[in-house]
Structure 1
């Protein structure tokens, strides 16, 4: 009878198109979680400790915790959850998004290498990319939204990495992920995508052929405006080697921030559903408003790359950029009179 029930259940999931694959809400809540053995706590505890008993008779050395700068159970739970959401083999969390980006660049690039990156990249990332020149790493900035001639022209014999965001910060430009991945693989180049603006709920670059994904988890993934953090996800062999970089550079997230990140990600799927709905409603409202010059939102059919966005995204997020008609003074007057929105940096938070 149990066997027959299992068959019926598999047929039911197949009819729904889900088979045995867990959905995003299920992964958001359950991936990476574990029951704490000593107390039976159902929420992953905050392992707020700098050091662990070592060596242990009940665990092999490779599985033992030694020092939180190296590994910590709270942080590993968060890493597994992010990796599951992105469809990655493994992941690592860091003290900030820029720390995660620094580890990625440090791992893949060496003096004499060349990196290609998009022209509309996050400011903090661009500062890091400019600093690479100090270490003998060459860089080329290109526009690669839909015309790939500039990307092909920029590729050199020493090109090792293509780095881009999609959607970008702040103009929400869209790049065809699958096409860039295809070009990169043809030339033996590693690809890295910053997926902060989309989140894995709306877009999974790894499944489109990208090698590594980075996040500022400060934004949507945590979603509560109370931590700073970053993450990298990708193949297990990359992550195990990047773990040694993080161990050496000391850029690991602290356990309490990891606990808050775990809490935040439990509601990621439902939060993103509302971000997507509200983002589209605001974009459509602004597009029809007589005092708005232009709206940048990939969910609008008027967006220059809407068809690409529709092909690779499930939703378009809560970030909307727009231009107010008038001069700087009139724009400032508009901002000063906002009643709900807070004028502050960051994004993807429940109150922004």
Structure 2
């Protein structure tokens, strides 16, 4: 990151310092989360070490002491670095040094946290014994294993319950938390397949099924191929039409995303739809919501209370926002009323979609306050980039037409999303129609990465979102259930870094335009004229 290419003022430096304080605070939280898991393991180890062979006991204890020291020292180093941000004035050089140090700390943390998962489960068995004659084969869970209940970790294990309980406590904003249960699974997609199989095998898919047109393409693929003629596609932005179709067809199940990972980033007015289903609809209906896009900002929990007819099931990927950018292990979670959750528990077991024991300890412990701060940073950065690009495209003649982001006033769902505090971290860029091809998309991605490399700015070409570093990716390429689009997922970079990323993106746009040979543009214009695509209708 070069100072010569930026306009650096005191306000920008102060905001960057504030960002860094939050980043180091988040690192302290992550370290403390891991140290809590280590301390819990130490307690169990000291209590159960008598069941272990002496050689195993000594090896595990030595590793426990070593890993505990790694994270204790790590936390101390982070606290010392954070102290450097206590002064009242900052300069560019000091802040860029702290930015580099922050990135080093995050990388070291996500690397070392794997050691903790390995340590905590090192003595355990995937098929733990409920009884033994000489030596236990249940490790730290000796005495807690019940035959045919939790003696096969593929079906169910003791490691996941504390995380599931904390998830409900921290992230599900309902009055009666005891009426809801969380179930961890091996991925977000595993969450959907568990729910879909449950609905199919319990006879809940006999009626018509409503599904959002912009639903996530991989689970839409499964639903459409399984249900075929029963499927009614709905446009998420047409709320009144959705309610009208519900009245007319009385569907057994409705599948919607809280925020769609699609070309236009459609957002259903779930508040209005749920209000109708809860107060005015008198037929049983399962409402399945993929909440990966909005996470804890989802504001409809109060309307999803106890109803005789409305049966809500919410699910979310654990590798996006809930993993605090670590991208360390796959996972998913299902949240449902207790009765439905108990049935889903059996389907998770029979389908083999359970989360691995090791994976649970690589997930940061649920903490609403810390996650909200992180989402607010995403919101800030996504708005900075989208507002800047929106104005840039209006003021410059380029081969790109529009930025799709629900936080912009020109988004088609602005009427019901304008007061939200979080609109997701990703946005999409729409090219002019003649350039909406895979080759042009890929060329632009390569240009963005090249510009970032030239300016020494960290930026990744890769899938997913909710990570610390901004990413660019060509999404939905190999599917019949979604249209390919160019997605940019804002990271949690500091204000100073965001200024550099703005420049990288606009430089790439200008270079993209200049590199298209005039002969190709001429041929495109001729083809459009021949096909009458140049006429204004």
Normalization by structure 1: what TM-score? 0.79
1:336 corresponds to 2:446: yes
Question: Which residues of structure 1 form unaligned runs of 5+?
Answer: 1-26
CA distance in 2, matches of 1:120, 1:227: 27
CA drift of 1:102 comes to 1.2
Residue 335 (structure 2) aligns with: 233
Q: Deviations 1:297-344 (Å, cap 9, x if unpaired)? A: 111122121231134x33122111121356246544322111243222
Q: Is the 8 A contact 2:331 2:355 kept in 1?
A: yes
2:208 aligns with one of 90, 106, 114: 114
Deviates more, 1:297-306 or 1:49-58: 49-58
Residue 421 (structure 2) aligns with: 314
CA drift of 1:147 comes to 3.2
CA drift of 1:57 comes to 10
Residue 165 (structure 1) aligns with: 257
Q: Is the 8 A contact 1:174 1:305 kept in 2?
A: yes
Deviates more, 1:52-61 or 1:154-163: 52-61
Residue 69 (structure 1) aligns with: 154
User: RMSD between aligned alpha carbons?
Assistant: 3.5
Count of aligned positions = 324
1:101 aligns with one of 153, 176, 192: 192
Residue 294 (structure 1) aligns with: 402
Superposed, which structure 2 residues align to 1:1-352 within 5 Å?
35-36=40-41, 37-39=43-45, 46-47=120-121, 49-54=125-130, 65-84=150-169, 85-87=171-173, 89-109=180-200, 110=203, 112-133=206-227, 138-155=230-247, 159-170=251-262, 171-185=264-278, 186=281, 187-200=283-296, 202-209=297-304, 211-222=312-323, 223-262=325-364, 268-290=371-393, 291=398, 292-311=400-419, 313-325=420-432, 327=435, 328=437, 331-338=441-448, 339=452, 340-351=458-469, 352=471
Q: Deviations 1:64-90 (Å, cap 9, x if unpaired)? A: 732212322332233223323133621
Q: Is the 8 A contact 1:193 1:205 kept in 2?
A: no
Q: Is the 8 A contact 2:376 2:421 kept in 1?
A: no
Question: Which residues of structure 2 form unaligned runs of 5+?
Answer: 1-28, 47-63, 69-115, 132-140, 305-310, 453-457, 472-537
CA drift of 1:151 comes to 4.0
CA drift of 1:100 comes to 0.6
Q: Deviations 1:141-173 (Å, cap 9, x if unpaired)? A: 111324322442255666211110121112221
Structure with more relative contact order (C-alpha pairs < 8 Å, separation 6 or more): 1
Q: Is the 8 A contact 1:93 1:231 kept in 2?
A: yes
Normalization by structure 2: what TM-score? 0.53
CA 1:73–1:271 in structure 2 vs 1: closer, same or farther (change >3 Å)? farther
CA distance in 2, matches of 1:206, 1:52: 38
Structure with max Cα Rg: 2
